[in-house]
Amino acid sequence: MKALVWMGKNKVEIQDVPKPRLVESRDVILKVTGSTVCGSDLHLLHGAIVELEKGDILGHEFCGVVESMGPSVTGLKKGDRVVASFQIACGDCYYCNKGLTSMCEKTNSDQLAYDMYGGRTAGIFGYSHFTGGFAGGQAEYVRVPYGDVNLLKLPDSVPDEKGLYLSDVIGTSWNCVVDTGVEKGDVVAIWGAGPIGQMAADFAFLNGASRVIAIDCNWRLDYLKSKYPKIETIDFSALPRGTSVTAKLKEMVPRGPDVALECVAGEYAKGWAHYFELLLGMETDSSEIINEMVTSVRSYGRCGITGVYVGYTNHLNIGAIMERGIRLIGNGQAPVQKYWVDLLRMVEEGKIDPLKMVTHRVKLEELDLVYSKFEKKEDGMQKVYVQT
C-alpha cells in the first residue's frame, strides 16, 4: 500500500509499504478515505520530536471505512464509516475512566517520555516512538488498536470531509477553550491563527466571548477576518519598532484579556531550548510567547498552552505568574473522545463548520509536496483534505 513516511529531517516521501494486519483482538484495520496534515506534523518534519525513525508512517488525523476487526470488537462492523481519535486509548484504565483518554496508561510505554515528563501521554498515531511508535493514517490502511474506543461512527449527514476534523482539530480547540474556562463576556487573545487558533476563536465566540484577538504574522489573519468579521487582529511582524505584543494588547484591552491561548509552539516558539542545549549542545532562544501571555492577561487571568513544546523552556516569567495570580494551564494532548459525541452533534446541527478552515483538497500521492507548502504557509494553505 502507499503511505507517507518520514525519511529524515525535512524529508517525507510517498512509499510502498506493507499493509497492516490485525495484531490484538480489539484491533480494527481501517481503509483510510481521508486524512490531513496538522501543525503537529511540522514538529516531526523538522525532526524536533525525539525517537522518530526513518520509515515511520506519519498521520494522526484520519477517517475511513472498517475493513476488518478482531473478535473482541463489539460496536463496529465491516463497512462502517468512522473517524479515528488522534491518540490511542484503552477505555478502561485509571485515566480513561476519568475521561482523560489522552493520558491512557496502557498504550505508551516509552521510557524516555516517562523520564522527561514524569509520566506519559497515551500512544498517538504516526507520532514517533516517544508516543508509542504507532503507524499513522497518511496511508491507504492503518491499524487502530482498541477500535471501539478510538473510532466514532459518522452519520450519513456528516460527510468524511467534515467528520475528519473530529480526529483532532475540533476536539483540541474545544479542549483549550473549556479547559481555560472561557465564558460569557471574556476577552480572549489567541496566539497563532492556524487551524487550531481559528477553531478556538470559533468556540470562544460560541461560549460567549465578547472579544477575540488573534495574533499572527501572515495572511492567515486576513483569512480569519474574512470568516469572522468580529475578530480583532495583531500582526506582530508589522508592529512599530519597540512595540511588543504585550504593549499592543494593553493598548487594545487596558486591563488585559481574561484568557490567553497558545496555539503556536513548534520551531517558531523555540520551545525546545533546554532540550537542545542539554542534549545537542546547540544554543537557542527561549520562548517569548508564554511570557507575552503571562504579562498580557489581567491579574488572575488564565493562560492555556495547547501548542506542542518539547521539554524545558528558559526564562519563564514566574514572577509575573506568582505576583499577579496568573493561572498557567497545560491543556495537554486533547482527550478528543471525551468530547466527540457532543462535537459531532454540533457539526450536524451546523453550529460549527470545519470546512471554514479547509483551503485545499489533494490526493495521497501529492502529500509530500503539501508538507513543504504547509510548512511555509504558502499558496494560502490553511487546512488540507487528503483524499485516499
Residues contributing to the site for Zn ion (CB under 5 A): 38, 40, 89-90, 93, 96, 104, 106, 168
Residue 59 CB, shortest distance to Zn ion, in Å, is: 9
Q: Which does 84 bind (CB under 5 to 8 A by kind): ligand NAD, Zn ion, none?
A: none
Q: Which of 106, 220, 248, 298 forms a contact with ligand NAD (CB under 6 A)?
A: 220
| Residue 45 interacts with ligand NAD (CB under 6 A): yes or no | no
By CB under 6 A, what part of segment 70-109 binds ligand NAD?
Answer: none
Which CB, 194 or 256, lies closer to ligand NAD? Answer: 194
| Placement of cell 481555560 in the chain | 180
Residue 87: φ, ψ to 5°: -105, 160
Q: Which does 217 bind (CB under 5 to 8 A by kind): ligand NAD, Zn ion, none?
A: ligand NAD
Q: Which does 220 bind (CB under 5 to 8 A by kind): Zn ion, ligand NAD, none?
A: ligand NAD
Spatial separation of the C-alpha atoms in residues 366 and 190, rounded to whole Å? 32
- SS3 for 237? helix
Spatial separation of the C-alpha atoms in residues 358 and 382, rounded to whole Å? 6
End-to-end CA distance of the chain: 11
Residue 301: φ, ψ to 5°: -70, 165
Are the CB atoms for 191 and 263 separated by under 8 Å?
yes
Question: Which stretch, 133-141, 215-223, 272-280, 293-301, contacts ligand NAD (CB under 6 A)?
Answer: 215-223
Spatial separation of the C-alpha atoms in residues 27 and 309, rounded to whole Å? 31
- Write each residue from 222 to 261 as x if it is in contact with ligand NAD (CB under 6 A), else as -, in one continuous string: --------------x-------------------------
Which CB, 20 or 39, lies closer to ligand NAD? Answer: 39
List CB contacts of 62: < 8 A, sequence separation 6 or more. Answer: 30, 32, 34, 35, 36, 83, 84, 125, 136, 137, 138, 142, 164, 167, 388
- Residues paired with residue 68 on neighbouring β-strands, in sequence order: 29
Q: Which of 4, 12, 32, 42 forms a contact with ligand NAD (CB under 6 A)?
A: 42
Q: Point out which residues bind ligand NAD (CB under 6 A).
A: 38-40, 42-43, 168, 172, 191-197, 215-218, 220, 236, 263-266, 268, 289, 306-308, 331, 333-334, 377
